[in-house]
Chain A
Amino acid sequence: MGSQQRAGVPITLHAVTKRYRTALGGEVQALNEIDLSIVAGEFVSIVGPSGCGKSTLLMLVCGLIPPTTGAIRVGDRTVKGAVDNVAIVFQRDVLLDWRTVLGNVLLPVEIKKLDPAIHRAKARELLRSVGLAEFEDKYPGELSGGMRQRVAICRALVQDPGLLLMDEPFGALDALTREQMNLDLQRMWLRDRNTVLFITHSIEEAVLLSDRVVVMSSRPGRIADIVNNDLPRPRGAHTRSEAGFVEHVERIRQHFLALGVLSET
């Protein structure tokens, strides 16, 4: 166990709700009384059906939208406005077509005015660690979907974020690439140990990657259950067939059957 020079930040959500006004004048309750505590350096997944407010939760945690009621704390500060020290990875890689791969990874370094020399070296090292060293000077248009998402992850990690927010980052990739990315992500997280809040539709993915899995119900989203997951790390391709893994996946699946999200009739 090496030294933790990059420990993650803890997150607390207390009685958080979020209501939206619709264009027709009505109100939509996206989230309902969310209470959640995440320890520094923890990898937490959120699984839930479409529209349950998972993405809203992410937006609330990073401060880009305010809660209707309740309080969110990241690190030791209440969230008011965009949180420092947070990096987001979306489902769409959102790379800038007009910058090279390296230029894209360095975007947060420029915006946050971080030390260019140190971070340039770090960016190149990150790209090397995901196998994209020869693609530094290429444009995103020349890369495949999986490669682009890897660049997006490097861009997130170059900032040394205490908190990594990932909104279905592998949702747009084919199944095999997705499995590989799961393993790559785990490898990077084991090295950096930031706090990760990971949204996914895939129960298996959640159980493979996380320390805890938050099960959410449909809109208005509330937490149906939190499943502790202490399968030994590092987890690999073999983990999917282990008894403990299958058990956790089953338990979560039962929740969705009970909630009516899945139906066998």
Chain B
Amino acid sequence: MTAVPETAYPPAASGVLAGWVNRNGPVLAVFAAIFALWEIAVRALGIPDYILPSPSVIIVKIISAWQLLLVSASVTLQEILLGFGLSVLIAIPLAIAVVYSGIFERVAFPFMVSLQTIPKVALAPILVMWLGYGIMPKVMVAFLISFFPIVINSVIGMRSAEREMIYLVQSMGAGELTTFLKIRLPKALPSIFGGLKVGMGQAVVGATVGEFIAAEHGLGYLQLISQVRLDTPLLFAAVVVLSLLGVLLFHAVAWVERLALPWSRVTTQAAE
């Protein structure tokens, strides 16, 4: 009888911290490798700062300009959250109307699809003309970009209840409202959250695009003026902060999803 040598199965790290390392280790290692190569390439090839700053230069810039970046980030964050909030408030009722009214669906869908396909960059100047230079046009662009994915995913989700489920509650005497509240809506939540995650990403893009067109504050605005001044490190710094903001917001939605759907984690774990 041969015993299996212990080295054949290296012990997996255990514990919460080790679990985090196991999950995120590879990604962090790849990032570190990319930054290292980038740093080395810039120095070795002597690339000037105004074309491609090295990671170390960008980090120094972020630290030195942290107040400016923070203020800009909070402005952009406001625009994103307001635009996204407006999307959710309008998209969900719209989705309910589409699911429950065939006529509404046939009338509203072409409008929504054409709105989605018009580049918002083209709409933004019109919005600025109507709404001025303040926060509103950015909120509107963020809203216009992010609401369609939320509607579509919500509609798909609300239609995903199986026929037998509906029959089941109907046979129990449930009316339309009960069927909606107890079956369609909970069944739709995973899809709705999928739409919210995409929509959040779109809202970030929308707010930034709005700022490119007309702004006096915010991370998008910061990118424009640093480009004009050839302050490329600041440009990159703004982009980095914007990415971090986007990632954070995405994870915020994912966190709310985990709270709202406690069973989905359970299901994926049990799928053996």
Contacts and interface: CB of A to CB of B under 8 A. Distances in A.
A96 B167 contact: no
Given A64-B167, A96-B186, A84 B266 contact: no
B174 A111 contact: yes
Given A64-B167, A98-B189, A111 B172 contact: yes
B267 interface: yes
A139 B267 contact: yes
Contact of B171 (A87, A97, A98, A138): A87
Contacts of B263: 97-98, 139, 141
A244 interface: no
Given A112-B172, A139-B267, A98 B164 contact: no
Binding site secondary structure of chain B: helix
A132 interface: no
Interface in A79-111: 82-84, 86-88, 90, 92, 94, 96-98, 107-108, 110-111
Given A88-B167, A139-B263, A139-B267, A98 B186 contact: yes
A197 interface: no
A199 B13 CA distance: 53
* Interface-central residue, B168, B182, B270, by most chain A CB under 10 Å: B168
Interface residues of A, number: 26
A142 B270 CA distance: 5
B182 A107 contact: yes
A120 B240 CA distance: 55
Contact of B173 (A82, A92, A139): A82
A94 B168 contact: yes
B245 interface: no
A62 B171 contact: yes
Contacts of A87: 171
Contacts of B264: 97
Contacts of A139: 263, 266-267
Contacts of A141: 263, 266-267, 270-271
A226 to B, nearest CB: 26
Given A64-B170, A107-B172, A90 B164 contact: yes
A139 B266 CA distance: 7
Given A92-B162, A94-B164, A86 B171 contact: yes
Interface in A109-141: 110-112, 138-139, 141
A82 B183 CA distance: 18
Binding site secondary structure of chain A: loop
B168 A82 contact: no
* Interface-central residue, A63, A82, A90, A98, by most chain B CB under 10 Å: A98
A142 B266 contact: yes
Contacts of A112: 172-173
Interface string B178-189: 100011001101
Contacts of B172: 107-108, 111-112, 159
Interface in B130-178: 162, 164-165, 167-174, 178
Interface string B236-272: 0000000000000000000000000101101100110
A88 B266 contact: no
A207 B271 CA distance: 36
Interface in B180-209: 182-183, 186-187, 189
A84 B173 contact: yes
A246 to B, nearest CB: 35
A74 B29 CA distance: 69
A188 to B, nearest CB: 19
A253 B264 CA distance: 45
B24 to A, nearest CB: 26
A96 B182 CA distance: 9
Interface of A: 59, 62-64, 82-84, 86-88, 90, 92, 94, 96-98, 107-108, 110-112, 138-139, 141-142, 159
7 contacts: A82-B173, A83-B171, A84-B173, A94-B164, A98-B263, A111-B173, A139-B263
Closest 4 CB pairs between A and B?
A141-B267, A139-B263, A111-B172, A90-B164
Given A107-B182, A139-B263, 15 more contacts: A59-B167, A84-B173, A90-B168, A92-B164, A96-B165, A98-B187, A98-B189, A98-B263, A107-B172, A111-B172, A111-B173, A111-B182, A141-B267, A142-B267, A142-B270
